[in-house]
Amino acid sequence: MRIVYVFGTRPNFVKTAPVIAALRERLPDARHAIVHTGQHYDRAMSEVFFEELGVPAPDHMLEVGSGSHAVQTARTMERLEPVLEAERPDLVIVPGDVNSTLAAVLTATKMQIPVAHIESGLRSFDRTMPEEVNRIVADEFSEHLFLHSDEAVENLRAEGIAEERMHFVGNTMIDTLVALEGRFRGAGAAAGLGLEPGAYALVTLHRPALVDGELLPETMRRLGELAAAMPVVFPVHPRTRQRMEGASAEHPGLLLSEPLGYVEFLSLLADAGAVLTDSGGIQEETTYLGVPCFTLRDNTERPVTIRAGTNTLLGLDPAAIAAIPQALSAPRPARTEPPPLWDGRAAERIADVLT
C-alpha cells in the first residue's frame, strides 16, 4: 500500500496531521509520502506547524510559492506529476479547498490515481470565492469524500454525488485542537500580552474580498474604534500585511503581530471575549471552544457554526464591526454541545474507512 498526502497551506497542515498519524499507526508497513506544495513558505506559516503538530518532514517539497491562481495551480500540477509517477501511490489524500488542493486533485485524477478529499461537501454558493471553485472540482473528482457536517451531506446529494462515495466522519481540525488542548490551555498567551482572559477581541482577516480591495482601510478604522471598547489583538496574515502597507495606515490601539504559532494562537482564541474573522477554520474552532465569533463575510460554507449559536455572520460591510460590543452585552443562548462527531476522533474514522 502506498499513500501520498499533498498539502501546502497553514490550515491544511492542521487538518491533515491527525489523518497521517492515524494511517501511519494503522498501516505501519505502507509507504506514507508527504508532499508539501510550498503554497505557504514563511516559517511562521509552515515550518512552525510541522514542529508543533509533529508532522514528519515532507518527502517532497514542490516550492511553488506565490503567484496568480493559474500560475500557482499550474506550477503545482507540473511539479506534482513526476512525484506521483515516482511514488506510484494507490491513493492520494488532499485536504481543504485551496489552490494546492485543486492542483493535486486534477493531477492525480488525470493519472487515474484515486483521491480522498478531507473536508468535502462545504459550499458557500458564491462562485466569486476562489475556494468555492476548488471545492466543487475536488468533490466532483475525488473517490472518497470525508464530510464533517450534515449540510455537507445535503450539498453533495443535491449535486447528485453517489452515497457510497460519502463518509460522514467529523472534523479533523477539531482532532488537532483536542490533541493540543493540554498544551494551549496552560500556555497563558493572553497574560503574556498583558491581557485579561475574556476581555479582549482576537482578529484575523485574509480573504481577497476583504483585504484586496477598498474595504481594508475602513476595516482598520473600525477596528481602531472597537479597540476603544476592548483591547484588539490582530496577528496579520502576510497577504493582509502587504495590503496594509499599501494603505500606509496608522493603527493606534491595535496590537498587531506577525502570524502566531498554533499553540499560542489557540491559547489566545480559547481565552478571547470575542473573535472577528473571515477564516473558515476559526469559525469552527470557536464553535468547539464556545467563544463568540463574528464573521466579516456575506456568506459561510459552515452554517453549522451559526446553528451552534457561536458564530454570527456580520456581512462584508466593515461598519458592522461597530455592533460587536452591544452584541456581546446582549444575552446569548446557552452554549450547546459541539456539532456531531466534532469529538477528536474524525481521523480514526477516516482510517477505518480507508483500511
- Binding residues (CB under 6 A) for ligand UD1: these are 9-11, 39-42, 45, 66, 98-99, 130-131, 206, 237-239, 242
- Compare residues 66 and 336 and give the one whose CB is closer to ligand UD1: 66
Instruction: Please indicate whether residue 206 is annotated as part of the active site.
Output: yes
- Which residue among 32, 117, 206, 237 is the active-site one? 206
318 phi, psi to nearest 5 deg: -60, -20
- Identify the burial level of 250 via C-beta atoms within 10 angstroms of its C-beta, where 0-12 means exposed, 13-18 middle and 19 or more buried: exposed
Beta carbon of residue 130, minimum distance to ligand UD1 (angstroms, whole number): 4
Minimum separation from the CB atom of position 111 to ligand UD1 (A): 22
Output 66 or 355, the one with its CB closest to ligand UD1.
66
Closest by CA to 104, choosing from 129, 74, 132, 124, is 74
Choose between 45 and 83: whose C-beta lies nearer to ligand UD1: 45
Opening angle at CA 54, ends 80 and 304, nearest 5 = 80
Between 111 and 133, name the residue whose CB sits nearer to ligand UD1. Answer: 133
All residues at 6 or more sequence positions from 222 whose CB lies less than 8 Å from its CB, including other chains = 318, 319, 321, 322
- Between 117 and 206, name the residue whose CB sits nearer to ligand UD1: 206
- Amino acid in position 54: G
For residues 258, 263, 264 and 268, what is the CA-based torsion angle, rounded to 10 degrees?
110
- 3-state SS, one letter per residue, for 245-276: HHHCCCCCCEEEECCCCHHHHHHHHHHCCEEE
Nine-digit cell string for 263: 499553540
Q: Indicate the residue among 11 and 273 with the shorter CB distance to ligand UD1.
A: 11
Torsions phi, psi for 61 (to 5 deg):
-115, 115
Smallest gap, in angstroms, from Cβ of residue 238 to ligand UD1? 3
3-state secondary structure of 119: strand
Grid cell digits, residue 150: 450534515
Kind of pairing, strands 144-147 and 311-313?
unpaired
Q: How far is the CB of 316 from ligand UD1 (least distance, A)?
A: 16
Cβ-based nearer residue to ligand UD1, 108 or 195: 108
CB of 96 to ligand UD1, least distance (A): 7
Please state the closest distance from residue 330 (CB atom) to ligand UD1, in A: 30
Query: At closest approach, how far in Å is the CB of 14 from ligand UD1?
Result: 10
Crossing angle of the two packed helices 238-247 and 215-229, in degrees rounded to 10: 100
Indicate the burial class of 194 (C-beta count within 10 angstroms; 0-12, 13-18, 19 or more): exposed
Catalytic residue positions?
A: 206
